[in-house]
Chains A and B, each alone.
Chain A
Amino acid sequence: MLSGQRERPGSYLQNIKQRMMKDFFSAKTALSVLYFVAGMVILGGIWALISKITKNEIPSPQATWLVFKEVMHNPMQNDPDYKGIGTKLFSSLGRVAIGFGLGSLLAIPLGLLMGSSKIAMNMVNPIVQILKPVSPLAWFPLGLAIFQDSPKASIFMIFICSLWPTLINAAFGASHIPQDHKNVSKAFGFSKFKYLTKILLPFSLPHIITGLRLSIGVAWMVIVAGEMLSGGQGLGYFVWEEGFNGGNIAKILVAIIIIGAVGSLLDRCFTWLQARFSYAI
């Protein structure tokens, strides 16, 4: 599967290197960096203005920067009474990984099955349509009731919420296999297994990755809410306890920046995967 691309990792990496070197020094890159900086300056300006209007109720960028540095001091601290921001971040990421991983493990095969079989589609689709619009927060108490454990409840919440985009996209991919590809399978007598590995999976893969990208976005959004409810752990707890209850708004802003940056990084990873596994027809 996609082995054509995998067989030449050397030349592939070399290509990327060359492209990056070329791009890095091009005027186009310089310009886009300039625009990025300009955008940040404008945002910072608005932020500073709001801070001034609210009489520092919302801390200024400089004040937030000081808190950021303080928060970033010894981020991996992992004492029973205090955990650093990095430790909190990784505990959040860990729960997202487990929930998202389990969700994907169920969503991918089920989606492919739905896309391949009308019966499975008619059976599962109505259920999906009913469960999909339910707010992630509604699943939390149910998880709590099932597992009697709040971290597990937030994993459960992420599991449920990261199911749908992957499921729907996998089903879409599997149900849109071109007749041409099916004809090849018929003409040369592909076995069921060969059809699965040489046609169904490779064709659906870009769709699955799109689904995963949407799912990880949802999961990352949901984890903060989950941890606010469950307490004790992770970035959500940091926002709620140390930020809001601790009366330190700057910490909330720092958390927002970190959450946003990590979220966009996760998205980037899946965008990269998408580009990696797309193919020209």
Chain B
Amino acid sequence: METTPPNNITAIADELLEEAISSDKSIEVKNVTVSFKTAKGVYTAVKEIDLTVQKGEIITLIGHSGCGKSTLMGTISGMVKPTSGEVIANGKKVSAPGPDRGIVFQNYSLLPWLTVYKNIYVAVDSALKDKTAAEKTALVESNLKMVNLWEHKDKLPGQLSGGMKQRVAIARAFSINPKILLLDEPFGALDALTKSSMHVELLKLWNLDHREKTIVMVTHDIEEAIFLSDRVVVMNNGPAATIKEIVDVPLARPRNKKDIVHDPVYMTIHDKLLNLLIDKFSIDD
């Protein structure tokens, strides 16, 4: 007897569809609030945030200093525990940092007593315990070559420039091959020229990896946000910061740093972000 009830079929179809859709979700931030206890009482950094990031998407969190963008990022990395709500990353609830999420810190956070090579090796060694020593060595080598630092592998971080240090930090994050890459104001301390080349380099790495990595980046640089991301998440000022608006960046990739600024779409987005972030554009006479 092949009399499967038709309503059951649609239920199964719905379930499959649901699964297909949810598998494209890389990060889900669900109703997240983060409060800290301070001497002056409870301080709420971010309040009731909802945000979904698709697999392979690049998004930036932008806002003024202290608006809680780093805190929000921290809940994704697992460094910060949400007071309420939850974050799902790669289909699992985030409770602690894990090797499926690579982190690049603002101040590079390289260990100053280890060489460039060893800095990456200890990270790989810790995060990818199942790999053999030969596989780990190969990973370190290929990632260092990718950021063009192989010839500097025996230097200590103190002997490198800021841009080089950040490339080491990026290579370190890439070398554990995480599905999600979290960058907390990674280029904030770099000069404008170095910054520009780092943007191109980051996109190159993302491209080499078939654009499969999800990247979330915290920044307060509008040009950087537009050039890199698919969506720009603009945050309100804290305390109890929320998402003000999410701006789409429908510019075709690969993007050209020089040409993109003349693109009318770019200019519209740039103006929109400026308006969202800045109240006053000139002094009152």
Query: Does B bind A?
Result: yes
Binding site for B on A (CB under 8 A): 1-5, 7-8, 180-181, 183-184, 186-191, 194, 198-199, 202-203, 279-281
| B97 and A189 within 8 A (CB) | yes
Given contacts A189-B97, A194-B122, A280-B158, 17 further A-B pairs with CB under 8 A are A3-B118, A4-B113, A4-B115, A4-B154, A4-B155, A5-B156, A188-B97, A188-B126, A188-B172, A190-B122, A194-B125, A198-B111, A198-B114, A202-B113, A280-B156, A281-B112, A281-B157
Q: Residues of A contacting B97 with CB < 8 Å?
A: 186-189
Question: Which residues of B are at the interface with A, using a C-beta cutoff of 8 A?
Answer: 77, 79, 96-99, 102-103, 105, 107, 109-115, 118, 122-123, 125-127, 154-159, 172, 176
B158 and A281 within 8 A (CB):
yes
> By the criterion CB–CB under 8 Å, are B109 and A279 in contact?
no
Q: Min CB distance, B159 to chain A, in Å? A: 7
CB B179 to nearest CB in A, in angstroms, measures: 15
User: In the complex, A269→B31 CA distance in Å?
Assistant: 60
Question: What residues of B have a CB within 8 angstroms of the CB of A203 in the complex?
Answer: 113
**Nearest A-chain residue to B102, judged by Cβ:** A187
- Of the candidates A3, A8, A183, A189, which one forms a contact with B109 in the assembled complex, judged by CB atoms under 8 Å apart? A183
Chain A residues with Cβ below 8 Å from B156 are 4-5, 279-280
Chain A positions within 8 Å of B109 at CB level: 180-181, 183-184
Please tell me if the beta carbons of A180 and B107 are within 8 angstroms of each other in the complex: yes
B contact patch SS: loop
State which of B154, B157, B176 has its C-beta within 8 Å of the C-beta of A188. B176
Contacts of B98 in A (CB 8 A): 189
- A8–B154 alpha-carbon span in the complex (Å): 10
Of A1, A7, A187, A194, the most chain B CB neighbours within 10 A belong to A187
**Are A194 and B126 interface neighbours, CB within 8 A?**
yes
> Is B112 in contact with A279, judged by CB distance below 8 angstroms?
yes
Residues in B with CB closer than 8 Å to A191 are 126
| Shortest Cβ distance from B107 into A: residue | A180
Residues of A within 8 A of B159 (CB): 280
Rounded to whole angstroms, the CA-CA distance of A186 and B78 in the bound complex is: 9
CA distance A3 to B126 in the complex (A): 18
Contact among B105, B113, B118 with A180 in the assembled complex (CB-CB below 8 Å) = B105
Contacting residue for B111 out of A7, A187, A202, A280, CB 8 A: A202
B98, B99, B109: residue with the most chain A Cβ atoms closer than 10 Å: B109
CB distance from B24 to the nearest CB of A (A): 26
List the B side residues contacting A2 at CB < 8 Å.
113
Q: How far is the CA of A188 from the CA of B172 in the complex (A)?
A: 10
